[in-house]
Structure 1
Amino acid sequence: MSNFNTNSTKVDFQQLSERRREALAKIDNAEFGWFHIRACLVAGVGFFTDAYDLFAINLVTPMLGIIYFSDGTLPPDLDLGIKVAASIGTFIGQIGFGYLADRLGRKRMYGVELMIIIVATLGQALSGNGYVLSLPAALIIWRVLVGIGIGGDYPLSAVITSEFATTNRRGAMMSAVFAMQGFGYLTTGVVAIILLAAFKDSIIANPQNLDYVWRILIGFGCIPALVAVYFRLTIPETPRYVLDIENNVNKAERDVANVLKESHNHLQSEEDEKAAHNPSTVKGSFSDFCIYFSRWENFKILFGTSMAWFALDVAFYGIGLNNSFILSSIKFSSIKGDNFSSCWNAAIGQIIIVLLGSVPGYWVTVFTIERLGRIKIQLIGFTMSCILFCVLGFAYNQIRNYSTALFVFLFAATQFFQNFGPNATTFVIPGEVFPTRYRSTCHGIAAGSGKLGAIIAQVGFSQLKDRGGPNNFIPQLLQIFALFMFVGLVVTFFIPETKGKTLEELSNENENGKSNPSQHRNNALSEEEEK
């Protein structure tokens, strides 16, 4: 009787494993359709909002200095606090939401982060000076909260897009979602120009009227988030989460059939629902996490993706949130000059840089990532960024004195090769290379490492840029950014190429979701039960 039960159980396991493979194969090999487009749009609107909220502050801080401080400049400590607050919140959100998405489910958490962004964005726009809490302090608190929401968007959008995508379009879909950041970044400049033009006469008459501009500029970030929140709350759970974490083959098959508009023929009874749970599937736990990453071939990937993102964000946010200072230093805009012209030129400069560098870089990645592969693009991006930062850093004064246009072009080129390069691939790869039960957690760890780089860059830029005189240390900072680009280039060799491989092939486990140590442990338990 015991032998019969054991053999019957083994047959059930084989059937469940076969059904699991069939469900995953349908997702991996599906025709690209409306559902995939919808998934990209729903996730992409979030990243549009993220970039808008993060980089709008680059144009807002000079306005705050003009409005609220007698010398027309925001004190360095307040400028740093306001800019770095969102990065601190983003770090918290990436780690926290990354873990919760693996623990509670992608669907349950998706949309929550967007609601946090909406509330915190409105809070920023409506902040005011008070007896207990000053305006800068209120902005810092609200920006920490908006950062938490933005941070949650990284692992959730990456993993949901990855787990719904087809194998041969997964990289393009994920990078298209991330590319919406470029449009968000661009829109900050466009909205600022429109607002400045609308309030031009009143600003020239009284610079205090810039208060209207920065509040509307910040508050506009709520609109795209409000559009997307309903669709995020109604998106289905990913089949891989249902299979590998909820461990429910029947539900996964129904979800796949619904997504692909196919009929589902398996039984729907409660008894069949119970029978569809495969006990050989490994559950996520702290001990299993340690076992999995105790193997060098797994740990080196987590280290490589995290360190590459860290190195990138030191430079990316070091320059991205300080464009106004860099443009001012080459006399393109002047923070201490005419108030209206200063804000206008800063917005125009941001638009030029984004149009020349960021937006093209993102979309070149989208259209080439499935042909060139992730690693080749990341290597190209780090190499070219390193070279360009060296040129700008070591020949800073010569280029600035020779031609402002040449400096802006080279500066934009660095952003092109960051976006046609590691800024996109460091987002894509961590959403592919880890097993389902740790995919979101590990993406959050890698992204959080990037935000640590952003925080260090912001603090370092603020403390060092005026060393030896106003904006005098910027050339040396650009040289430091070049060094970090070289570090990112080196650690890229720790990361495997993911092009054309299924998520299960990349997880470095067998088909039942077991790494080798876990396999030995479960085999031993099975042998004991058979005895």
Structure 2
Amino acid sequence: MMPETARYTALVEKNVEQAVRDMQRVLAVSLSQIAEVDEETLSPISPKPYPLLSREFLRRHGRDLFACAAAWFLVDVVFYSSNLFQSKIYSHYLPKHSMNAFQEAFHVAKLQAIIAVCSTIPGYYAAVYLIDRAGRVKIQLTGFFFMALGLLAIGIPYKSYWHNTTNMGFMVLYSLTFFFANLGPNTTTFIVPAELFPARFRATCHGISGAAGKVGAVAGSVGFLWGSRRGVGMTAALVILGGICVVGMAVTYLVTPETRGRSLEENECENDDMNGNVSTVS
């Protein structure tokens, strides 16, 4: 059976000996060979406990939880909405002859596959390369910025230019929104909540942040369907999504902590002891 993580066993269950045994068994080395393990890391000493639903939690971790949940909510509004109206985005690139639903879905799927290969997947690889070099906050900020830039560059002149144009510039701008989504917030929103909170709250706070993201996905999907039935055009939809990305930039810059180069214990001690806030952009 898979054991609990050593941090959870030592810091939450207060069973240091079991944590050591689990690490030795999983890593197949003696304790003396584990350079990162020391008395401070496995110490069961913890600050005075307080529950999740308490003023103390809000004082210590409320802003961080808001930052994680808000960023996840905002990126999912944009990401899932953009996926939903791809059939309209690609309408100029579909065959002009009449098609049934299956033929249209097939052609849209081909274009989606091209976008995935050319932008979505490379965005993830770029995030893997940069996340420990540039930092979580910087790539999340960069992602939101270029998503906003791409969506606004498509949306503002959509009726006057893009609506009757089928050049590759449109597809390049549109695909860049997915590249930078996966380079930035669509990746970092999974990582930051897992690094930021103390062991006893980590899974719960990550779950709350993820749930906020799914609320954003539902809000974006329902909002797009509601708007399309009431005559909200592509220009308005794209500009609104670009504006949401600008809000994401503000949340990232103002309240999102940087966790790069810090161990989980350092993040926990800094938050619990209130010795200062983790820097947002360095």
TM-score, normalised to structure 1, is 0.46
Separation in 2, partners of 1:508, 1:335: 64
From 82, 85, 102, the counterpart of 1:319: 82
Matched, 1:357 2:113: no
Change (3 A) 1:310 1:277: closer
Matched, 1:503 2:264: yes
Matched, 1:240 2:7: yes
Matching residue of 1:393: 155
For residue 126 of structure 2, what is the amino acid of its counterpart?
V
From 169, 180, 185, the counterpart of 1:422: 185
Separation in 2, partners of 1:238, 1:408: 45
The gaps in structure 2 that reach 5 residues or longer are: 33-41, 275-282
Matching residue of 2:243: 483
For residue 473 of structure 1, what is the amino acid of its counterpart?
G
Separation in 2, partners of 1:401, 1:482: 21
Q: How does 1:300-319 map to 2 (within 5 A)?
A: 300-319=63-82
CA contact (8 A) 1:312 1:423 kept: yes
CA contact (8 A) 2:50 2:56 kept: no
Separation in 2, partners of 1:335, 1:243: 66
Q: Any idea what SS the aligned residue of 1:370 has?
A: coil
- Please report how far the alpha carbon of residue 336 of structure 1 lies from its aligned counterpart in structure 2 after TM superposition: 6.4
CA contact (8 A) 1:356 1:413 kept: no
- Please report how far the alpha carbon of residue 335 of structure 1 lies from its aligned counterpart in structure 2 after TM superposition: 11
Separation in 1, partners of 2:133, 2:80: 29
Q: How does 1:96-495 map to 2 (within 5 A)?
A: 234-263=1-30, 278=44, 280-281=45-46, 286=51, 289-295=53-59, 298-328=61-91, 330-332=92-94, 337-397=99-159, 398-468=161-231, 473-492=233-252, 493-495=254-256
Separation in 2, partners of 1:460, 1:321: 11
- Please report how far the alpha carbon of residue 291 of structure 1 lies from its aligned counterpart in structure 2 after TM superposition: 4.1
For residue 210 of structure 2, what is the amino acid of its counterpart?
A
- Please report how far the alpha carbon of residue 333 of structure 1 lies from its aligned counterpart in structure 2 after TM superposition: 6.1
Matching residue of 2:280: none
For residue 259 of structure 2, what is the amino acid of its counterpart?
T
Separation in 2, partners of 1:333, 1:460: 29
Change (3 A) 1:433 1:388: same
Separation in 2, partners of 1:283, 1:448: 28
Change (3 A) 1:379 1:277: closer
For residue 485 of structure 1, what is the amino acid of its counterpart?
C
For residue 169 of structure 2, what is the amino acid of its counterpart?
L
Separation in 2, partners of 1:403, 1:376: 34
Separation in 2, partners of 1:300, 1:445: 13
The one-character-per-residue Cα deviations of 1:419-458 (angstroms, maximum 9, x if unpaired) are 1111111111011000000001111111111111111111
For residue 342 of structure 1, what is the amino acid of its counterpart?
E
- Please report how far the alpha carbon of residue 322 of structure 1 lies from its aligned counterpart in structure 2 after TM superposition: 3.4
CA contact (8 A) 2:195 2:267 kept: yes
CA contact (8 A) 1:399 1:406 kept: no
The one-character-per-residue Cα deviations of 1:230-252 (angstroms, maximum 9, x if unpaired) are xxxx4332111111111100110
Change (3 A) 1:237 1:485: same
For residue 503 of structure 1, what is the amino acid of its counterpart?
L
Separation in 2, partners of 1:378, 1:342: 34
% of aligned pairs identical? 38
- Please report how far the alpha carbon of residue 388 of structure 1 lies from its aligned counterpart in structure 2 after TM superposition: 0.8
Q: Any idea what SS the aligned residue of 1:432 has?
A: helix
For residue 425 of structure 1, what is the amino acid of its counterpart?
T
For residue 446 of structure 1, what is the amino acid of its counterpart?
S
Change (3 A) 1:480 1:354: same
Separation in 1, partners of 2:97, 2:266: 53
More helix by percentage:
1
Q: Any idea what SS the aligned residue of 2:196 has?
A: coil
For residue 256 of structure 2, what is the amino acid of its counterpart?
I
- Please report how far the alpha carbon of residue 385 of structure 1 lies from its aligned counterpart in structure 2 after TM superposition: 0.6
Separation in 2, partners of 1:326, 1:463: 17
Change (3 A) 1:415 1:434: same
Q: What is the number of equivalent residue pairs in this alignment?
A: 263
